[in-house]
Amino acid sequence: MGCDIHMYAETLDKQGNWQPSDTKDFVVNKWIANLDKEEIEDDEGLLATNVVDTERNYWLFGVLNNVRSEWPFSFSDKGFPDNASDCVRKQFDYWESDAHSPNYLTKRELSTKLTELLISHEKDAFENATYLKEINDKLFGDPDTQRVVFWFDN
């Protein structure tokens, strides 16, 4: 049985609340990349805003939250954010007990880790930094007001 990732982009609004990032650049999942926004809303109005199609990249899963592989340079597990947007929380709740290992990372955290991997002397870190770069490059704006929220399912 394979493991999949569900990743959503959020933006911090001027009132200090996280909102789903509303840009077509975030819709690059292979199943929905060619659909318009209206076509990817489900019956409850939830937007499918997956950031990247990682194709079960277990190296990346390990870096993001020690899922399917572990690295000394992996991010720490913070769990699902208490202040997630309603839309992302509904997506997470939809998966119920199948969702596991949730985490979230700001653009600043991703950028810092990307720099760490690029200067690392570990071959795996340097060679695979492109996967983090793909996520990081899709987050625009202030690095503290952009983040990804994600979890996994088996």
Instruction: Tell me what the mean pLDDT of segment 66-82 comes to.
Output: 91
Overall domain count for the chain = 1
Q: What is the pLDDT of residues 91-147, one digit of tens each?
A: 899 888 999 999 999 999 999 999 998 888 787 787 778 888 888 888 888 999 999
Please name the residue that has the structure tokens 């770069």: 133
Q: What is the pTM of this model?
A: 0.81
Q: How many residues does the chain have?
A: 154
Residue 35: give the domain boundaries: 4-153
> How remote is the C-alpha of 41 from its chain's centroid?
19
Q: How confident is the model at residue 35 (pLDDT cuts 50, 70, 90)?
A: very low
Q: How confident is the model at residue 25 (pLDDT cuts 50, 70, 90)?
A: very low
More confident residue, 18 or 122: 18
Query: Three-state SS string across the chain, please?
Result: CCCEEEEEEEEECCCCCEEECCCHHHCCCCCCCCCCHHHHECCCCCECCECCCCCCCHHHHHHHHCCCCCCCCCCCCCCCCCCCCHHHHHHHHHCHHHEEEEEEEEHHHHHHHHHHHHCCCCHHHHHHHHHHHHHHHCCCCCCCCEEEEEEEEC
